[in-house]
Amino acid sequence: MFVREKIILNLLNHLHQPVSKTVFVKLVFLLRHETSLMNMSSFYDFVPYKYGPFSFTLYRELDRLISNGYVREFEGKLAPLPLVASTGPLAPIGETAVRHVIGNYGNTSIEAILDDVYRRYPWFALNSELPQRRFASIEPPLIAPPAVYTSGYEGMSVEAFFNRLLKQGIRLLIDVRANPVSRKYGFAGSRLRQFCGRLGLSYRHEPGVGIPRGARSELNDLASYRRLFRHYEEAILSLQLEKIAELGRIMSETPSVLVCFEKDVERCHRGCLAPYIARESGLKVIHL
């Protein structure tokens, strides 16, 4: 069991009564933003969604805790089951954080919690359909100026990754992996497409400008990456000029980002692809 799962079980146990998913998600959001857990990189991140701050990862793990008998869901409310005691002791950082949130919000109504979260964190009310949205001082979302944007998701949760794109004003995610698979939750192509749809973004997969998995073996230093990328330009990009021109037109018309795994653009083929698109379109390259 993840440490973050133990923390949310502890939070649920301290509430002493069943709580709606909407309230529970907001309490976990407050754990993230108002306690020392803000410095815990593996804790849940959030995106602006239909009911305010939301975490796809949190919902997924809640479902797993329900399936495994740690949490009971009844009529839309959550309650811990006796099995929660078998998770073992909670680290002091988690215990202190839970006590802080319970002390400040444990006896607060759902309306007051939502009002407070929306007032103080208006970014996360951006897409909310709840009436409490009226308390948020929401600025119109940014629209990114035309450029060849690129981004890698290495080391990020899917929520943190999407939050960055949304704040930058991106509207189209162009997946340039040859095979859009990932062991990390949320980053397989099918999931990315699904999450894009939920967050008001579009998704496009362009495998033809990716690098086949077999070509990426024995990459152990920057020199080996450079050899790979020279081969990539000669054997792949030189044959994809029509596709490159198409991507240039798309990125000129719609705020778009080329997405792959690597955080370091010097170790990712998008660092080669982006200048080709830039030369074709006249746009500048911006690595997010």
Per-domain boundaries in the chain: 3-135, 148-287
- Residues of the chain with pLDDT > 70, as a percent, come to 97
Q: How many CA atoms lie within 13 A of 160 on its CB side?
A: 15
State residue 59 phi and psi, 5-degree precision.
Answer: -60, -40
Q: Which SS3 state, helix, strand or coil, does residue 51 take? A: coil
pLDDT surpassing 90 at residue 92: no
pLDDT at residue 85 is higher than 60: no
* pLDDT tens-digit map of 158-181: 999 999 999 999 999 999 999 999
List of long-range contacts for 188-193, beta carbons under 8 Å, 24+ apart:
191/158, 192/259
CATH of domain 148-287: 3.90.190
* pLDDT tier, 273 (very low <50, low <70, confident <90, very high otherwise): very high
pLDDT score for 136: 86
Q: What is the mean pLDDT of the chain?
A: 92
CB 79 within 8 A of CB 71: yes
Q: How far apart are CA 288 and CA 12, in angstroms?
A: 37
**Torsion angles phi and psi, residue 175, rounded to 5:** -80, 115
Decide if pLDDT at 79 tops 70.
yes
What is the pTM for the complete model shown?
0.92
**CB atoms closer than 10 angstroms to residue 218:** 8
Q: How confident is the model at residue 153 (pLDDT cuts 50, 70, 90)?
A: very high
Distances (CA, A) of 11 to 79, 93, 190, 208: 10, 13, 32, 47
